[in-house]
Amino acid sequence: MSKIVDFRQRIIDAIKAMYPDMDVEWYDGLFDEHDIAEWTLKTPCARVAVMNAPGEHEATGELNARLRVVTVIIDENRYAALDGDARAWEYVESIAVMANLNQFGDPNAAPATNVKFRRISQPVLRREGVSVGVIEWESDLTIGHNRVRERDFFYRPDNGQLITQVPRTTRTRGYVHNAAGLGDNETTDFDVEE
């Protein structure tokens, strides 16, 4: 599986863990009023997109993909006029706080930065009782092969796995001779001339 798709799934899983009753899925990053009309059938819902961004070379030989993550929240009025707005803001704020400096459990990801969030105000949506919020942030994700790990570490010849366990230090007592050729349990007297 693609590392980027796996990272997007980790974000979706993190939002589902926060809001188990919310319908959370991915989308391609673009939406219009037809998409919103379809998504309102499953409110409250969140749609997560990972947008492409320029990659930069790392010293390890990997690419640092600077991903732009966009999450759209859709909710609608239920019990009172405009109560969907308060819930949408609550979702937006809590997901923004959760995303801030989060790696989403991926060891190849840097903590999320540049978190931005806002509500999209549109008169037609407001009259229909639909509230839309957007959270956006940047997550750096290294992709590719880490050439440093391949070059500077030792791998098992039988299965190619990284050697992570090394022999433990043990204490032994050896029979070592000193410079005079005597063992450590031998003594001698020296005559000193005056």
Local confidence pLDDT in tens for the 194 residues of the chain:
789 999 999 999 999 999 999 999 999 888 888 888 888 888 899 999 998 777 787 878 788 899 999 999 998 887 766 677 888 899 999 999 999 999 999 999 999 999 999 988 787 877 788 889 999 999 999 988 877 766 677 778 888 888 877 777 666 555 566 666 665 555 545 454 54
Nearest to 67 by CA among 86, 80, 54: 54
CA gap 45, 19 in Å, rounded:
10
In a domain, 193, yes or no: no
Confirm whether 79 is domain-assigned: yes
Question: What is the predicted pLDDT for the residue at 194?
Answer: 46
DSSP β-ladder status, 63-76 and 130-143? antiparallel
Helices (H) and strands (E) in the chain, counts: 5, 6
| Strands, E assignment, the chain | 23-26, 45-51, 55-57, 63-76, 113-120, 130-143
Residue 162 lies in a domain: no
Predicted local confidence at residue 103, as pLDDT: 95
Q: Is 58 among the domain residues?
A: yes
- What is the pLDDT, as a whole number, of residue 35? 86
| Res 179: pLDDT | 65
- Give the residue from 53, 69, 66 showing the smallest Cα distance to 140: 66
Here the CATH number for the domain that contains residue 71 is 3.30.2000.10
Task: Supply the pLDDT for residue 169.
Answer: 67
Q: How many structural domains is the chain composed of? A: 1
Q: How far apart are CA 5 and CA 2, in angstroms?
A: 5
Range of the domain at 50: 3-148
Tell me, letter by letter, the H, E, C secondary structure of 38-59. Answer: HHHHHCCEEEEEEECCCEEECC
The predicted pLDDT at position 54 comes to: 74
Q: Is residue 174 part of a domain?
A: no
- 48, part of any domain: yes
Task: State the pLDDT at residue 43.
Answer: 86
Looking at residue 175, what is its pLDDT?
58
Q: How many Cβ atoms are within 10 Å of 11's Cβ, its own excluded?
A: 27
